[in-house]
Structure 1
Amino acid sequence: MNPKSPDASRRSDRSRRAILDAALALVGEVGYPKLTIEAIAARAGVGKQTIYRWWPSKAAVLLDASLALAGDAGAQAGGDAGAQAAWTGFPDTGDLAADLKHVLRLTVDEFNDERYDATARALTAAGASDPELGARFNERLLEPQLALYEERLRAAREAGQLAADADLRMVVEMLLGPLTHRWLLRTGPLTHAYADALVDRVLRGVA
C-alpha cells in the first residue's frame, strides 16, 4: 500500500499562517520601513517566491495579517458571549450606552496591544502613500467594522433612543475619531474611562 501523499492544501495553510505571523512579529521588532519580504520569508521558513505567489508587497502581507489578527481576537473572545458579539456582530442588550462602552473598551485594549499597534500604524502609514492599499484597507477591514456600529445605532434610532434625524456615520465618527486621534498621535493615555466619557458626551448630543 502506497503511503498517503502529503496534503498540499494543509501545507499551504501552514505556510500562509507562518508568513502572517512572521510579518506581525517583525513589524513590531524592526518597524515598517525596515520590514522586508526577505526577512519575512526567513522568519517564516519559506522561500521569497512563496510570498510573492500570494502577495504583491509587504503592505499586502500586513493587511492580511491584520485581518488574521482580528479573526484571532474574535476566536479568543469565544468564551465571553458579550466579547464575541463585539467582534462578530455588535452587542444589543437594549442599553445603547452600555453596548457602545463595551465595544470602545475592547477597541482601547486593541490599540494598547503591541501586536495590533505596530501593524495598524504600519498600514496607516502605507495606506497614506499608497491609495490602492488604503482603499483595500478601508474595504476589507475598516468599513465592515464601521457597519457594525451603524447597524447598532440604527436599531437605537428606530427604538427612539437617538434623534430621528441623527446621521449615523457622523455619530460613529464622533465616537471613533477622538479615540483614533489620541492613539495615532499619542496625545494622551487610552483608557476605559476615556472611552466611557466619549460615549456619554456623544450620546448626550444625539439622544
Structure 2
Amino acid sequence: MADTDKSPDSSRRSERSRRAILDASLALVGEVGYNKLTIEAIAARAGVGKQTIYRWWPSKAAVLLEASMALSGDAEDEGEWTGFPDTGDIAADLKHVLRLTVDQFNDEKYEAPARALTAAGAIDRELGEKFTRQLLEPALVLYENRLRAAQAAGQIDADIDVRIAVEMIVGPLTHRWLQRTNPLTHDFADTCVDQVLRGIAPR
C-alpha cells in the first residue's frame, strides 16, 4: 500500500523554486535590461514571494550571477561545451573554442546576462570581482592550460607569458562584443588566433 501520509520533499520544492527564480532572472534581464530588473519582478515571474529570494540572495546582481553560472552548467550538460580540446593542433583547438564563444556572444540567451553583469560589475567592485573569479577566470585558466601544453609540445615559444597570450587571443573578441561596432564572426575569431600564434611561434 502506498504511504499516503508521506510529507512533500522540501528539498525538491526548494530546488524547483531556486531554478524558477534563476530562469526568471535570465528571461527578464533579456526583456527589460539590468537597470529595470527588480527582485519584485523576478519573484512575480518565478511565482514565489520576494522574501524567498532575499533568503537565498542579497541582491538582484547575486541572483543574476548564479543564474549565469547555472546557464554555463546547462551548456555543458547539453553538450554545447565539452571541455577544451587537445587534438595536438593548437590553432584548430583555439579556433574551435573561440568560435563557440562567438556563438554564445551572439546568442541573446547568453548575451543579455553577460552584458548586464559586465556593466554592473564595472560599477560594483565586489560584484565585478565575483564575476571575474567565478565565471571569467575558470575559462581563462583553460586557455592557459592548453597553451602550456602547446609550449611543452614545442608548438609555441617557451619564453612567452602564457597569461598575456591568452588575453591577446580573447581580448579582441570581448572588445568587439562590447563595442558593437563590427560583427562578431567566426572569421574574426580565426584571424585573432592566427595572428597571435604567428607572434608567439617558436623562434
Find the aligned partners of 1:140 and 1:41 in 2 and give their Cα distance: 25
Greater shift, 59-68 or 2-11, is seen at 2-11
Name the counterpart of 1:152: 146
Identity %: 74
Which of 160, 163, 181 is the equivalent residue of 1:166?
A: 160
2:192 counterpart residue number: 198
Cα separation, 1, equivalents of 2:92 and 2:183: 21
Q: What secondary structure does 2:82 align onto?
A: helix
User: TM-score, with normalisation over the residues of structure 2?
Assistant: 0.96
Corresponding position of 2:56: 54
**Unmatched segments (≥5 aa) in structure 1:** none
Letter in 1 for 2:104: E
Partner of residue 28, structure 2 = 26
Using the TM superposition, give the Cα deviation of residue 2 of structure 1 relative to its aligned residue in structure 2, in angstroms.
4.8
Q: 1:17 aligns with which of 19, 27, 31?
A: 19
Measured in 2, the distance between the counterparts of 1:53 and 1:141 equals 23
Q: By how many angstroms is 1:156 displaced? A: 0.4
SS of alignment partner, residue 79 of structure 2: helix
Q: Counterparts in 2 of 1:27-106, with a 5 A limit?
A: 27-77=29-79, 83-85=81-83, 90-106=84-100
Distance 2:17 2:53 in 1: 9
How far apart are the structure 1 equivalents of 2:179 and 2:40? Answer: 30
What is the letter of the counterpart of residue 134 of structure 1? G
Matched positions, count: 199
Q: Which amino acid aligns with 2:7?
A: S
- The structural deviation recorded for 1:38 is 0.1
In 2, Cα distance between the equivalents of 1:2 and 1:194?
Answer: 61
Q: Deviations over 1:16-60 (max 9, x none)?
A: 000000000000000011000000000000000000011100011
Structure 2 gap ranges (5+): none
Structure that is richer in helix per residue = 1
1:129 and 2:123 matched: yes
Give, in whole Å, the separation in 1 of the partners of 2:192 and 2:133: 26
Partner of 2:182: 188
Distance 2:4 2:69 in 1: 40
Structure 1 stretches of 4+ with a deviation exceeding 3 A read: none
What RMSD over aligned residues (CA atoms) do the two structures have, in Å?
1.0
Q: Match for 2:102 among 93, 103, 108?
A: 108
Change (3 A) 1:2 1:77: closer
User: What does the per-residue CA deviation read over 1:107-128, in whole Å, with 9 as the maximum and x for residues that have no partner?
Assistant: 0000001011110110011101
